[in-house]
A = this chain, B = another copy of it.
Amino acid sequence: MKNESIIESLLFAAGDEGLTAGQMAAVLNIQIDELTKILQSMADSLIQDEVRGIMITSFGDEYRMMTKKENAAYIQQLAEKPSPKTLSQAALETLAIIAYNQPVTRIEVEDIRGVKTDRPIATLCARGLIEEAGRADAPGRPILYATTTEFLDAFQLKSITDLPPLEEGDIPMPQEADLFFGRFEEALDE
Protein backbone atom coordinates (compact mmCIF):
# COMPACT_ATOMS: atom_id res chain seq x y z
CA MET A 1 0.00 0.00 0.00
CA LYS A 2 2.09 2.88 -1.29
CA ASN A 3 -0.69 5.39 -0.54
CA GLU A 4 -0.27 4.91 3.17
CA SER A 5 3.37 5.84 2.93
CA ILE A 6 2.54 9.04 1.04
CA ILE A 7 -0.19 9.96 3.51
CA GLU A 8 2.21 9.47 6.40
CA SER A 9 4.76 11.73 4.68
CA LEU A 10 2.18 14.40 3.99
CA LEU A 11 0.72 14.47 7.48
CA PHE A 12 4.18 14.49 9.02
CA ALA A 13 5.43 17.38 6.88
CA ALA A 14 2.23 19.38 7.40
CA GLY A 15 3.09 19.77 11.09
CA ASP A 16 0.46 21.10 13.44
CA GLU A 17 -1.52 22.73 10.65
CA GLY A 18 -2.89 19.48 9.38
CA LEU A 19 -4.40 18.71 5.99
CA THR A 20 -7.90 18.12 4.71
CA ALA A 21 -9.00 14.88 3.14
CA GLY A 22 -9.59 16.86 -0.04
CA GLN A 23 -6.02 18.08 -0.18
CA MET A 24 -4.60 14.62 0.30
CA ALA A 25 -7.02 13.01 -2.14
CA ALA A 26 -6.04 15.56 -4.77
CA VAL A 27 -2.35 14.81 -4.32
CA LEU A 28 -2.93 11.06 -4.45
CA ASN A 29 -5.37 11.43 -7.29
CA ILE A 30 -7.98 9.22 -5.61
CA GLN A 31 -11.57 9.72 -4.46
CA ILE A 32 -12.14 11.32 -1.05
CA ASP A 33 -14.13 8.25 0.02
CA GLU A 34 -11.22 6.00 -0.70
CA LEU A 35 -8.85 8.36 1.07
CA THR A 36 -10.94 8.59 4.23
CA LYS A 37 -11.14 4.81 4.29
CA ILE A 38 -7.35 4.52 4.18
CA LEU A 39 -7.00 7.25 6.80
CA GLN A 40 -9.44 5.49 9.08
CA SER A 41 -7.60 2.22 8.88
CA MET A 42 -4.28 3.97 9.43
CA ALA A 43 -5.66 5.80 12.45
CA ASP A 44 -7.06 2.56 13.90
CA SER A 45 -3.88 0.61 13.52
CA LEU A 46 -1.78 3.43 14.99
CA ILE A 47 -3.94 3.45 18.11
CA GLN A 48 -3.73 -0.31 18.48
CA ASP A 49 -0.06 -0.68 17.74
CA GLU A 50 1.86 -0.38 21.01
CA VAL A 51 5.12 0.21 19.21
CA ARG A 52 3.86 3.37 17.56
CA GLY A 53 4.08 6.74 19.32
CA ILE A 54 2.01 8.83 16.95
CA MET A 55 -1.64 8.90 16.05
CA ILE A 56 -3.92 10.54 13.51
CA THR A 57 -6.70 12.77 14.79
CA SER A 58 -9.39 14.44 12.78
CA PHE A 59 -11.29 17.61 13.33
CA GLY A 60 -13.97 18.35 10.80
CA ASP A 61 -12.42 17.16 7.59
CA GLU A 62 -8.98 18.14 8.78
CA TYR A 63 -6.46 15.48 9.72
CA ARG A 64 -3.43 15.89 11.92
CA MET A 65 -0.61 13.71 13.17
CA MET A 66 0.09 13.99 16.89
CA THR A 67 2.01 12.20 19.59
CA LYS A 68 0.05 9.69 21.65
CA LYS A 69 -1.34 11.09 24.88
CA GLU A 70 0.25 8.42 27.07
CA ASN A 71 3.71 9.61 26.03
CA ALA A 72 3.09 13.24 26.96
CA ALA A 73 4.98 12.93 30.23
CA TYR A 74 8.15 11.89 28.41
CA ILE A 75 7.96 14.86 26.08
CA GLN A 76 7.47 17.07 29.10
CA GLN A 77 10.65 15.63 30.62
CA LEU A 78 12.55 16.54 27.51
CA ALA A 79 11.34 20.11 27.82
CA GLU A 80 12.41 20.27 31.44
CA LYS A 81 15.99 19.34 30.64
CA PRO A 82 17.11 22.28 28.60
CA SER A 83 20.70 22.61 27.61
CA PRO A 84 21.60 25.66 29.65
CA LYS A 85 23.86 27.56 27.37
CA THR A 86 22.35 27.45 23.94
CA LEU A 87 18.98 28.31 22.52
CA SER A 88 16.75 25.71 20.94
CA GLN A 89 16.10 25.52 17.25
CA ALA A 90 12.61 26.94 17.88
CA ALA A 91 14.02 29.94 19.75
CA LEU A 92 16.74 30.57 17.18
CA GLU A 93 14.24 30.45 14.31
CA THR A 94 11.93 32.82 16.10
CA LEU A 95 14.79 35.16 16.91
CA ALA A 96 16.01 35.16 13.32
CA ILE A 97 12.55 35.99 11.98
CA ILE A 98 12.16 38.85 14.45
CA ALA A 99 15.67 40.16 13.82
CA TYR A 100 15.22 40.31 10.05
CA ASN A 101 11.60 41.49 9.98
CA GLN A 102 11.28 43.68 13.05
CA PRO A 103 9.00 44.98 14.31
CA VAL A 104 6.78 42.00 13.77
CA THR A 105 3.76 40.38 15.45
CA ARG A 106 3.58 36.88 16.88
CA ILE A 107 1.04 35.90 14.23
CA GLU A 108 3.45 36.88 11.49
CA VAL A 109 6.22 34.82 13.09
CA GLU A 110 3.86 31.85 13.37
CA ASP A 111 2.84 32.30 9.77
CA ILE A 112 6.46 31.94 8.70
CA ARG A 113 7.38 29.11 11.08
CA GLY A 114 4.16 27.22 10.54
CA VAL A 115 3.83 26.40 14.23
CA LYS A 116 2.72 28.02 17.48
CA THR A 117 5.32 30.32 18.88
CA ASP A 118 4.04 31.53 22.28
CA ARG A 119 6.70 29.79 24.30
CA PRO A 120 9.73 30.75 22.25
CA ILE A 121 8.56 34.37 22.35
CA ALA A 122 8.01 34.22 26.11
CA THR A 123 11.49 32.84 26.65
CA LEU A 124 13.17 35.27 24.32
CA CYS A 125 11.43 38.08 26.22
CA ALA A 126 12.47 36.59 29.56
CA ARG A 127 16.02 36.36 28.29
CA GLY A 128 15.90 40.00 27.28
CA LEU A 129 16.71 39.24 23.65
CA ILE A 130 13.45 40.69 22.33
CA GLU A 131 10.98 43.21 23.69
CA GLU A 132 7.61 44.68 22.90
CA ALA A 133 7.82 47.55 20.46
CA GLY A 134 4.35 49.04 20.27
CA ARG A 135 1.23 47.68 18.64
CA ALA A 136 0.46 46.85 15.04
CA ASP A 137 -2.16 48.89 13.24
CA ALA A 138 -4.31 45.82 12.63
CA PRO A 139 -7.47 44.25 14.09
CA GLY A 140 -6.91 43.45 17.75
CA ARG A 141 -3.86 45.73 17.79
CA PRO A 142 -1.40 42.87 18.32
CA ILE A 143 1.93 43.41 20.07
CA LEU A 144 4.94 44.09 17.89
CA TYR A 145 8.29 42.55 18.83
CA ALA A 146 11.79 43.82 18.14
CA THR A 147 15.29 42.80 19.23
CA THR A 148 17.04 44.50 22.16
CA THR A 149 20.55 45.81 22.71
CA GLU A 150 21.16 42.65 24.73
CA PHE A 151 20.51 40.74 21.53
CA LEU A 152 23.25 42.74 19.84
CA ASP A 153 25.56 41.98 22.77
CA ALA A 154 24.81 38.28 22.82
CA PHE A 155 25.48 37.94 19.10
CA GLN A 156 28.36 40.41 19.05
CA LEU A 157 26.79 42.83 16.62
CA LYS A 158 27.46 46.56 16.59
CA SER A 159 24.01 47.34 15.24
CA ILE A 160 21.12 45.55 13.63
CA THR A 161 22.43 46.58 10.20
CA ASP A 162 25.44 44.36 10.98
CA LEU A 163 23.34 41.24 10.51
CA PRO A 164 24.70 39.28 7.56
CA PRO A 165 22.59 40.15 4.53
CA LEU A 166 20.40 37.30 3.41
CA GLU A 167 20.07 36.47 -0.23
CA GLU A 168 17.05 37.61 -2.16
CA GLY A 169 14.22 35.18 -1.56
CA ASP A 170 15.81 33.81 1.60
CA ILE A 171 13.76 35.94 3.93
CA PRO A 172 10.31 34.47 4.31
CA MET A 173 7.96 37.39 4.72
CA PRO A 174 4.35 37.42 5.79
CA GLN A 175 2.70 38.16 2.47
CA GLU A 176 -1.03 37.84 2.91
CA ALA A 177 -1.64 41.57 2.77
CA ASP A 178 0.49 42.10 -0.31
CA LEU A 179 -1.32 39.44 -2.25
CA PHE A 180 -4.64 40.87 -1.34
CA PHE A 181 -3.76 44.40 -2.30
CA GLY A 182 -1.94 43.20 -5.39
CA ARG A 183 -5.15 41.73 -6.74
CA PHE A 184 -7.11 44.68 -5.53
CA GLU A 185 -4.95 47.01 -7.61
CA GLU A 186 -5.23 44.73 -10.62
CA ALA A 187 -8.97 44.94 -10.32
CA LEU A 188 -8.87 48.71 -10.17
CA ASP A 189 -6.72 48.87 -13.27
CA GLU A 190 -9.29 47.10 -15.34
Contact = CB atoms under 8 A, between A and B. Distances in A.
Interface of A: 1-2, 4-10, 12-17, 19, 23, 26-28, 50-54, 65, 67-68, 70-71, 74-75, 77-78, 81, 84-85, 88-90, 122-123, 125-127, 164-167, 169-170, 172
A125 B164 CA distance: 8
Q: Quickly give the copy total for this chain.
A: 2
Contacts of A52: 4-5, 8
A67 B17 contact: no
Contact of A53 (B7, B75, B77): B7
B126 A78 contact: no
Nearest to A77: B27
16 contacts: A1-B51, A5-B53, A5-B70, A5-B71, A12-B67, A13-B75, A17-B89, A19-B78, A26-B81, A27-B78, A28-B74, A84-B170, A85-B169, A122-B164, A126-B164, A126-B165
A78 B17 contact: no
Given A4-B53, A68-B5, A166 B126 contact: yes
Nearest to A15: B15
Q: Which 5 A-B residue pairings sit nearest by Cβ, starting from the closest?
A: A8-B53, A9-B53, A17-B89, A9-B71, A5-B53
A9 B165 contact: no
